Amino acid sequence: MPGLQDLTIDELADEFEFLGQWDDQCRYLIELGGELPDLALEEKSEANRVPGCQSQVWFVPQVHEDPAGTTIEIRAKSDAHIVDGLIVVLLTLVNGKTPEEILKTDFTAAFKRLGLEAHLVPQRRNGLYSMVERVRAIARVHAPTDGKHPSPDPFDAVNGSHTSSSSSPRTSETRAVRPSLPVAERAATFDVSAVRAQFPALHQVLERGVPVTYLDTASSAQKPQCVIDKEREVYEQYYANAYRGVYRYGDRISRELEESRERIRRFIGAESTDEIIFTPGTTAGINLVANAWGRRFLKPGDEIVLNEMEHHANIVPWQWIAQQTGAVLTYVPLTDDGRIDLEAFGKALTSRSRIVAVTGMSNVLGTAPPLTELIAKAKAAGALVLVDGAQSVPHMPTHVVQDGIDFLAFSGHKLYGPSGVGVLYGRRELLDAMDPFLCGGHMIERVQTDGFAVAPLPAKFEAGTLPIAQAIALGTAVEFVTDLGFCPVHEHEQSLLRHAWDQMHKIPGLRIYGPDTSHRGAIVSFTMDGAAAQDIAQLLDLKGVFVRHGHHCTMPLHTRLGVPATVRASFGLYNTREDVDTFIDALHFARRELKLS
């Protein structure tokens, strides 16, 4: 083997090819790393430390000026042999080169050639790209300033005390991808029996042979077999903690999580997976924004604009943060048919409006507010927009970039995915500027007894152990919905809604709340004169029809409606016209049992 200083990337590539298997290549990297000379103790300083690496890595650059030009030589060392091996690989691409040559080097292609892109676990790959970033920063400092490579303050890239992800390896170069086509634009046909066949819980038979008619999807959706199988696969075949172990299970888990993150990114049209934060659900996502953004940016007298139909999850966190910061809440009233009063919305916006928090679809009225119009008005007033996508994301296309959404929160369990996991999307600049919310493991880059530095996105907001299998299976759920296509799903759900709507209007004393079917998703909340909501729900259960009753976590809305409780039937992509007919028959049954005239 040639001395390290003489090793070339071609020789490395030959050796990797000869070895063939990752096991052997990995051992070779460790062996190479073992030969990397150590640095002096004083060279392992904070100024020389490379931020963004899980291991400690130090770079000591030397610049050789001679008549032929300027060349760069880096001496480097880490605290792990395998990382030292990667340093050796990296330095074959750097040492003895001019700054211009370094800036033109396609590091990714070189790593791919060795198979490193495929085999390194995500945190190690990120660490490698942090080293690349450092190398580039050094080269930029010494490159001739021709306007193409502005010469930054080298200490931006050197001191590492700030961990803004803009200097992380996850920049647009390596991670950001153009938003894909909105899912709704894909054409597909919809075979409800084939879809329904994939949901085992819908095929259970109750006592006396009564079938299940599940009309509580707005509360939590049933799961297709592929989601159940995915979760089971994780536990049975490769379960481990995520973003921690370099062993094979840990590596597989980290990759599967990143794949899920990527599927979700595409699903909502985000620019980068760094903007996709796994959370426990919608409630947690909104609390994260209210705390991490609100505490940092809300001042006394700033306005948070809500409306009367919001779920408690999109009211209470704002009430709480308003109490903490002195901000005030403005509630936009609803029209009598349960829509946001657009004129009142326009008037509610002032120069003090900082954020509009609005549902993508009401979980009671089914109202789908005109987000494009609301967002345009909010933006014109200089306010950010958070969309509570708990009900909208599973049933209609969402494209955060095209729609101009700043924050989007949604839950896996309403999206035919597992419970315990959800997503917060946030625009990168906003997430970067926010403080962390929960603190602990994984969200840090470095901890000392007297302080810590936060990790780049998305880890910054993912403290502690994620709901691992759930987050992976959420990616499967997203793929399931994506493959069906929102156009046919939406059409199918709307036809169920219209069928239910027509039949329900024929039932004496039954009152449906909210707008007509052209302004709502497939959710109908209603009361029946002379009957308590709970009694109706209980009697429907006797017929195997599962609906929810109560205030549905929307007490202010129920106050506005003037009723303490409603019964809610909500439809999902697996419901059929027969489900609607069974529901209507069950309502007649309830009326008879309650002796309503």
Binding site residues, ligand PLP, CB under 6 A: 281-283, 311, 313-314, 359, 363, 388, 390-391, 411
- 3-state SS string for 247-265: CHHHHHHHHHHHHHHHHHH
The phi-psi region of residue 366 (left if phi > 0; otherwise alpha if psi is between -120 and 50; otherwise beta) is: left
226 catalytic? Reply is no
531: which DSSP letter? B
List the beta strands (DSSP E) in 268-352: 276-279, 303-307, 328-332
Q: What's the rounded Cα separation, in Å, for the pair 313 and 466?
A: 21
Rounded to 5 degrees, what angle do the CA atoms 388, 392, 396 make?
A: 145
Least distance to ligand PLP, CB of residue 363, Å: 3
- Specify the residue, 32 or 424, whose C-beta has the smaller distance to ligand PLP: 424
Q: Kindly name the residue from 26, 226, 487, 553 that is annotated as catalytic.
A: 553
How far is C-alpha 376 from the chain's CA centre?
Answer: 23
Q: Give CA separation, 419 vs 280, 367, 411, 433, 477, in Å.
A: 8, 24, 8, 30, 12
- Specify the residue, 311 or 549, whose C-beta has the smaller distance to ligand PLP: 311
- Specify the residue, 114 or 405, whose C-beta has the smaller distance to ligand PLP: 405
In this structure, the strands spanning 422-426 and 444-448 are unpaired
The phi-psi region of residue 269 (left if phi > 0; otherwise alpha if psi is between -120 and 50; otherwise beta) is: left
Least distance to ligand PLP, CB of residue 375, Å: 17
The encoded tokens of residue 101 equal 């040559």
**Helical (H) or strand (E) element with 353:** strand 353-359
The encoded tokens of residue 272 equal 């980068």
Q: How many CB atoms lie within 10 A of CB 518?
A: 8
- Specify the residue, 254 or 391, whose C-beta has the smaller distance to ligand PLP: 391
- Specify the residue, 221 or 540, whose C-beta has the smaller distance to ligand PLP: 221
Q: What's the rounded Cα separation, in Å, for the pair 296 and 563?
A: 38
Least distance to ligand PLP, CB of residue 568, Å: 10
The secondary structure of 443-505 as a DSSP string is: SEEEEETTEEEEPPTTGGG--S---HHHHHHHHHHHHHHHHH-HHHHHHHHHHHHHHHHHHHT
The phi and psi torsions of 442 (rounded to 5 degrees) equal: 70, -30
Least distance to ligand PLP, CB of residue 295, Å: 20
Least distance to ligand PLP, CB of residue 400, Å: 17
Least distance to ligand PLP, CB of residue 514, Å: 13
Least distance to ligand PLP, CB of residue 244, Å: 27
The encoded tokens of residue 448 equal 């000392």
- Specify the residue, 129 or 526, whose C-beta has the smaller distance to ligand PLP: 526
- Specify the residue, 25 or 282, whose C-beta has the smaller distance to ligand PLP: 282
- Specify the residue, 282 or 353, whose C-beta has the smaller distance to ligand PLP: 282
Q: Around 82, how many Cα atoms within 13 Å sit in the side-chain half-sphere?
A: 19
Least distance to ligand PLP, CB of residue 438, Å: 16
Catalytic (active-site) positions? 553
